[in-house]
Structure 1
Amino acid sequence: MKKLIVGAAIIDVTPKKPMFLHGYPHVERTSEGTHDPLYASALIIDNGENQIGFCAVDVIFISKEITKRVRELVEKSTGIAGKNLMISASHTHSGPVTVTDIFYDPVVPAADPEYIQYLISKIVQAFVEAFKNKRQCKLAVTTADSTGVGGNRHSISGVTDAEVPVVVLKDFMTDEIFALSVIHCMHPTVLHEDSKLFSADFPGFTREFISDSLGENVVLLYQTGPSGNQSPRHFIESNTFDEAKRLGDLLGNRIVKSVLRLNESDYQDWCSLHIQSVEVNLPRKEFMPLIDAERKVASAKDKLDTMRRNNADAKEIRTVECDWFGAEENLKLVKMMVNGDLENVYRDVLPAEVDTVTVDKFHFVFLPGEFFVEYSLSIKEAASEKVFVSTLSNGVIGGYIVTEEAEADGGYEASNSIFSAKGGKVIVETVHKMLG
């Protein structure tokens, strides 16, 4: 008789010392304490034929090197094939530096080697403990609606993807829920540069809400979907912990309600598991001449200064401020291209790893970069079965993968990308081929 055996674990990965908080350009920001812990949450699914592991980590990025080392160590400890392990970053902007700065910001220090080793050991520990915690279980997949928990950061009426997949794991014998895995297409950036405390941002409050509602031992894996142009910017009144809690509770409440609506017939005690992985080279961006890059910085700064003098709306100022940051980063990239340093970046981040994990009739896609939400929708629209996309997984590729429209507009995200918008189409086509 086939059985579904699943284990879950959660491990604190909060740094033990003050560290630079990574996420906001050109801001020197060192932690002064911890508001809520950063976690690595792991899940091992074993159907007797295959074992697949997932880990969601409350950090800004997971590098290819971190992925490689974790896979090697977990395979050695558990026998699970390293390629069957998916590791995703929540992308909180209130956590430590975990990769050498891919936004080419001179303010951001290199990642602390001591913390990187600590982080690797903790992610491995989470996987190993999940492996040891395996028990017979039942699995269901549902969705929640995240409308109102942020949206398009360029326009309040812009494109969004509010569908939040929720994988629910129940103990076969006790019928108690012991783990959830979710993917939400949203930047976790309620907290801004004035906050100097380690925090998972609003997903941390979502975790608390679910724990309070479904049981303190429920492990939540929170993953971020394509959200390069998604944020809470136009949906909050302030960049405070109270606002982070409001959004976190709103999302948590939606998830809990979706879970509690499930019937016993929605659960299954066995499912098929399949995994595919391919490596893709992405088309490089064509950079503007150096003189044009310098003019772009001057123009963006002039526009920002004018808006500040005229006391424009704070949210609109923030958008233009980000455009200025992007122009500065674009200038840095152009200089790196001229002197040849950009070749080292391409060598480090390519090829991009694309993974698909199929759980019964549900497909989960894992991509390494910050993609605009339009790519999530493109992948879903062409699929004959349900597909969900997790990003910031198994490596970083440098900057954003924007749409062709955003590339032509030349805003913040397009400015600090090192790949052409055509890369998004390459990824979408790759995923479609993988899913048949």
Structure 2
Amino acid sequence: MKNSVIALLFPLLGFFCVEAAGGSDSAPTGLRAGFAKTDITPEIPVKLYGYAARKTYSEGVHDPLSARAVAFENNGRKLLLVSTDLGSFGRDVFTVFQKSIMDRFNLRESEIFLSAIHNHSAPILTLNPERGDPNNIEYTKGLQKKLLDLIGEAFRNMQPVLTGTGTGASPVGVNRREMLPDGSITLGRNPYGVTDKEVLVLKIAAGDGNSLGALYDYATHCTSLGGSSMKISGDILGLSSQFVEKILGGKVITPAFAGASGNIDPWFRVLPGFNEEPGWIPEPVLLGTLLGEEVVHVYRGIKELKPGGEIRTSFETLECPRRETAADQAGAAQPQSPTIPVNITVASIGDDVAFVGFNVEMITEIGLEIKKGSPFRHTFIITHCNGSSGYLVPAEFYKEGGYEVTTTRFAIGSSDMVVKKALKMLYDLH
């Protein structure tokens, strides 16, 4: 009888140990993956992210905000990618969230991509009792628990998978560095400027071929709604994922990631709200649907699915020189560090697909340079990932000026440092 009880207990003990660790190092060989999705729409009015002119609370919800996660495991190596319909994770908030994720699921910092789609119709995240709004602090604390639950669900949902990758293109994003007659640069629409129109999709299916979900990457700000809009919304990428999941149906989950889009806005930008004129399709919905349809086209066009490959990960913090500002020259009250940290997170699945995460708002030319130099066939550039250090601009922009240059804290040459480091990390994994 005693032996029978022990025999019954061992499987149960094994189950709980795997759950606590987010996957066992003695897991079966072969790529496994699990998806999860949760609602993160604020239940109370909050201060909204992204436009300094906003002084009041949000006023209602147009469409829900979501967080989506996909967890991978192969032969004990893990990888976690989380997409949230939020603006960004500031350094203080990210540090708290990262530690809780690492501790709960026994993950290395190189195995975590915690990202935001840079949505300007979402709550500001803060845990600062002195400077943060109480409603936003309450929301952020609740978000931490929701994300931990979400990640746990993704790990529990892991199963053997097949993967395939495809690419398309979308005109939703446009270069926003518009040149005025006097030669100055303003925020507007520059249809002749550089853009990255690639829609990159990683399709993931169960061993029997049934779809589980897809990750996709596209370079655009989520700023179709402007500072006078006070409604909660997922904006372009959030609305796109909502559309894709509706069309694909079932339990398919499609996390979106913001590519290198520091100088890319939606074609229709900073609108005062959703136009409800009869017969009119509101621009955020129109653009989100347009992007979503291309994601679906690419997804359905991926016919070749393979068992996946080995997981490799790497993480480094690169200290880039800080730009001297007028406040520095005048003698700032608080001495500033001479450098600004750039967190670079690199991961690969097999020899064809890589992910590169940056805690910066990256100009699209920089992302294109990394894609071009990458040894991998497909490279996901994921910005607003694992923290937030502001705009990163290429050297030639400093002479041209414009909003991105005015607001960057990085000195000239920083972007070259980041490109070289990211490419070295990619080659080291390949």
Query: Could you state the TM-score of these two structures normalised by the residue count of structure 2?
Result: 0.82
Q: Which runs of 5+ in 1 are unaligned?
A: 102-106, 289-333
Instruction: After TM superposition, give the deviation of residue 17 of structure 1 in Å.
Output: 0.9
Give 3-state SS (helix, strand or coil) of 1:141's partner: strand
| Match in the other structure for 1:281 | 319
| Match in the other structure for 1:357 | 347
Query: Which of these residues, 396, 404, 408, is aligned with residue 388 of structure 2?
Result: 396
Write the deviation string for residues 380-405 of structure 1: whole angstroms up to 9, x where unpaired. 222233322111000011x3112223
Write the deviation string for residues 185-219 of structure 1: whole angstroms up to 9, x where unpaired. 10011111222111110222212221222114211
| Match in the other structure for 1:223 | 257
Do the aligned partners of 1:178 and 1:218 also contact (CA within 8 Å) in 2?
yes
Give 3-state SS (helix, strand or coil) of 1:95's partner: coil
Instruction: After TM superposition, give the deviation of residue 226 of structure 1 in Å.
Output: 1.0
| Match in the other structure for 2:191 | 156
| Match in the other structure for 1:312 | none
* Separation (CA, whole Å) in 1 of partners of 2:369 and 2:136: 37
* Separation (CA, whole Å) in 2 of partners of 1:65 and 1:193: 25
1:269 aligned to 2:307? yes
Question: How do 1:275-424 and structure 2 match up within 5 A?
Answer: 275-288=313-326, 334=327, 338-341=331-334, 343=336, 346=337, 350-360=340-350, 361-386=352-377, 387-397=379-389, 399-424=390-415
Write the deviation string for residues 202-256 of structure 1: whole angstroms up to 9, x where unpaired. 2222122212221142111111111110001468998536111111111111111
* Separation (CA, whole Å) in 2 of partners of 1:160 and 1:21: 27
Amino acid at match of 2:374: A
| Match in the other structure for 2:91 | 64
* Separation (CA, whole Å) in 2 of partners of 1:182 and 1:37: 19
* Separation (CA, whole Å) in 1 of partners of 2:268 and 2:124: 27
* Separation (CA, whole Å) in 2 of partners of 1:220 and 1:110: 32
Instruction: After TM superposition, give the deviation of residue 122 of structure 1 in Å.
Output: 1.4
Instruction: After TM superposition, give the deviation of residue 82 of structure 1 in Å.
Output: 4.4
| Match in the other structure for 1:130 | 154
Write the deviation string for residues 354-379 of structure 1: whole angstroms up to 9, x where unpaired. 11111112221100010110001111
Instruction: After TM superposition, give the deviation of residue 340 of structure 1 in Å.
Output: 3.4
Higher helix content, 1 or 2 = 1
Q: Which runs of 5+ in 2 are unaligned?
A: 1-27, 178-189, 276-281
Write the deviation string for residues 66-98 of structure 1: whole angstroms up to 9, x where unpaired. 333333333333333344111001110001111
Do the aligned partners of 1:143 and 1:258 also contact (CA within 8 Å) in 2?
yes
Aligned in 2, Cα 1:249/1:236: closer, same or farther, shift over 3 Å?
farther
Give 3-state SS (helix, strand or coil) of 1:404's partner: coil
| Match in the other structure for 2:223 | 189
| Match in the other structure for 2:138 | 114
Write the deviation string for residues 111-130 of structure 1: whole angstroms up to 9, x where unpaired. 93322211211111111110
Write the deviation string for residues 260-280 of structure 1: whole angstroms up to 9, x where unpaired. 1122xx211231110011111
| Match in the other structure for 1:8 | 35
Give 3-state SS (helix, strand or coil) of 2:347's partner: strand
Do the aligned partners of 1:156 and 1:234 also contact (CA within 8 Å) in 2?
no
**% identical aligned pairs:** 26
* Separation (CA, whole Å) in 2 of partners of 1:207 and 1:276: 28
Do the aligned partners of 2:219 and 2:258 also contact (CA within 8 Å) in 1?
yes
Query: Could you state the TM-score of these two structures normalised by the residue count of structure 1?
Result: 0.81
Do the aligned partners of 2:46 and 2:135 also contact (CA within 8 Å) in 1?
no
Amino acid at match of 1:353: N
* Separation (CA, whole Å) in 1 of partners of 2:134 and 2:146: 20
Do the aligned partners of 1:286 and 1:420 also contact (CA within 8 Å) in 2?
yes
| Match in the other structure for 2:279 | none
- RMSD, matched Cα: 2.5
Query: Which of these residues, 291, 297, 303, is aligned with residue 257 of structure 1?
Result: 297
Do the aligned partners of 1:7 and 1:131 also contact (CA within 8 Å) in 2?
yes
Aligned in 2, Cα 1:432/1:111: closer, same or farther, shift over 3 Å?
farther
1:204 aligned to 2:195? no
* Separation (CA, whole Å) in 1 of partners of 2:176 and 2:324: 25
* Separation (CA, whole Å) in 2 of partners of 1:209 and 1:77: 32
1:21 aligned to 2:48? yes
Instruction: After TM superposition, give the deviation of residue 99 of structure 1 in Å.
Output: 4.7
1:168 aligned to 2:208? no
Number of residues of Structure 1 aligned to a counterpart in Structure 2: 378
Deviates more, 1:381-390 or 1:45-54: 381-390
Aligned in 2, Cα 1:373/1:415: closer, same or farther, shift over 3 Å?
same
Aligned in 2, Cα 1:287/1:212: closer, same or farther, shift over 3 Å?
same
Aligned in 2, Cα 1:421/1:180: closer, same or farther, shift over 3 Å?
farther
Give 3-state SS (helix, strand or coil) of 1:353's partner: strand
Write the deviation string for residues 306-331 of structure 1: whole angstroms up to 9, x where unpaired. xxxxxxxxxxxxxxxxxxxxxxxxxx
Instruction: After TM superposition, give the deviation of residue 350 of structure 1 in Å.
Output: 4.1
* Separation (CA, whole Å) in 2 of partners of 1:340 and 1:392: 29
Give 3-state SS (helix, strand or coil) of 1:152's partner: strand
| Match in the other structure for 1:50 | 77
Aligned in 2, Cα 1:20/1:235: closer, same or farther, shift over 3 Å?
closer
Do the aligned partners of 1:22 and 1:108 also contact (CA within 8 Å) in 2?
no
Give 3-state SS (helix, strand or coil) of 1:213's partner: helix
Do the aligned partners of 1:74 and 1:128 also contact (CA within 8 Å) in 2?
no
Give 3-state SS (helix, strand or coil) of 2:257's partner: strand
Do the aligned partners of 1:28 and 1:108 also contact (CA within 8 Å) in 2?
no
Query: Which of these residues, 44, 47, 60, is aligned with residue 33 of structure 1?
Result: 60
Do the aligned partners of 1:98 and 1:111 also contact (CA within 8 Å) in 2?
no
Do the aligned partners of 2:109 and 2:315 also contact (CA within 8 Å) in 1?
no
* Separation (CA, whole Å) in 2 of partners of 1:382 and 1:20: 40
Give 3-state SS (helix, strand or coil) of 1:181's partner: strand
Instruction: After TM superposition, give the deviation of residue 109 of structure 1 in Å.
Output: 5.8
